[in-house]
A and B are shown apart, each in its own frame.
Chain A
């Protein structure tokens, strides 16, 4: 656990950079994190995914897997990889300020 600063506000994150408290997240922070990750501009499609991930997290307690994203977010898996090249589920979850998706066991 450590504290880092996004958009001028200190935030607690885990060792992989995932938010400990999703309520501490703001859109400005997302834009800053995306830039650091090499995404110059968050397009409408990026926001569709980010908003979907946050909705799923608050409803179900965990972020969706890539496959569920591809089925339910309205963005295909291929496009998800174009939007978030380092792996959609993990990268988008981090930018969306939610914990790393539990995935499957």
Chain B
């Protein structure tokens, strides 16, 4: 008999998991007592457009073309993996079945949730009202990033406000990178002194982790970008003439703008909310942060942005989780204990403009620290260099050709490397550090 693994979502996590599982199971069968099983893998997604999401940051500045960062999802899956293009209606974990929007039912032995997040635009009053995609934009999807390119090109001066409505968001550094790139972009156009850039965040600093928050905070300072902290956006209000508007905080504070770039609230996928016992209040899937097994049922696993795992929602996290997840699924199907554990490893390049970037590397227990990655000789950590910028640009090739196909990338593994980092004598436990 064949065992079936159904993977919901054909993005970073779903694709690399499918390909890694396929590489394993095309050479191995599952031995289950007297029986021997082959494994089939099915990936479900509602569309066939795989967006290289780190590229969205560059589109508004004309540094990436929209068509360069989109490829068909199906083409990223190895031959032998079935791709089903259909919205998901719900998961019925009691019956081990996924029900698709067209009524088709997919029974599974193991389910992987990799459907990422959904932008919850409706949760902020006035966000998609008058001015939306004219004076108020987001670059967190392809349509928004593309529309913003035109608006930035037409912008001749005034108040540019970059606002994070609430955490969690994908890639928590991206809004800061947007500020840095905007500073560079307007400098390059010779109108920087006519543009006031403000970053309004619900956090109490520039970033979530103390050492990195201090480093990034001083970069904002150096670049003349204003920082407004603990700002919880309640409403977006446009002036009567529609030329400008303001963000109004729940505490009554106001941040006026001529152009607003808003990172909206994030939720898990809608079908999670329709699936009994699968998600939390925000449709994220409660997941064991070490084994990546969900609390819904033992044969349901999750990775990436879709989970409630306490680390950044980022492609690198998904990548590192994928290695652990695949090992644990193989163990689960072989009736073995799940002993592969994820340490919370995250790694990201932070574009700082003027062809430079920072690199940060951290996990559940160790916050981003200075030093080098992946060892004493390597890319500088928490320091602006051209080398890190080139690393960021090169990563797009690595993404399509090594990460998604599920090949191991030399020097970049699931466990966070400690060598090369300037570790304090006793590393404080920053696990669950408050924001």
Contacts and interface: CB of A to CB of B under 8 A. Distances in A.
B365 interface: no
B251 interface: yes
Interface string A80-102: 11000101000000000000111
A12 B31 CA distance: 56
B103 to A, nearest CB: 30
A78 B282 CA distance: 18
Given A66-B232, A68-B282, A72-B281, A102 B310 contact: yes
Nearest to B209: A105
Nearest to B280: A68
B426 interface: no
Contacts of B168: 104-105
Nearest to A66: B232
A103 interface: yes
Contacts of B376: none
Contact of A78 (B172, B250, B432): B250
Contacts of B234: 77-78, 81
B251 A105 contact: no
B435 interface: yes
B435 A103 contact: yes
Interface in B139-190: 166-168, 172
A63 to B, nearest CB: 10
Interface string A16-31: 0000000000000000
A102 B289 CA distance: 15
Nearest to B430: A105
A87 B435 contact: no
B311 A71 contact: no
A105 B310 contact: yes
Contact of A105 (B208, B230, B282): B208
A94 to B, nearest CB: 13
B167 A104 contact: yes
B100 interface: no
B434 interface: yes
B318 interface: no
B401 to A, nearest CB: 30
B191 interface: no
A67 interface: yes
B433 interface: yes
B57 interface: no
Contacts of A77: 234, 250
Contacts of B232: 66, 87
A54 B311 CA distance: 24
B167 A85 contact: no
A81 to B, nearest CB: 4
A100 B433 CA distance: 10
Ranked nearest first, the 6 interchain pairs of A and B with the lowest CB-CB distance are A104-B167, A104-B168, A103-B435, A81-B250, A102-B432, A72-B281
Given A65-B166, A67-B166, 10 more contacts: A62-B432, A66-B250, A67-B123, A68-B282, A78-B234, A78-B250, A87-B230, A105-B167, A105-B172, A105-B433
29 contacts: A65-B167, A66-B166, A66-B232, A66-B250, A67-B166, A68-B281, A68-B282, A71-B282, A72-B281, A77-B234, A77-B250, A81-B234, A87-B232, A87-B251, A100-B434, A102-B310, A102-B432, A102-B433, A102-B434, A103-B434, A104-B167, A104-B168, A104-B208, A104-B310, A104-B435, A105-B168, A105-B209, A105-B312, A105-B432
Interface of A: 62, 65-68, 71-72, 77-78, 80-81, 85, 87, 100-105
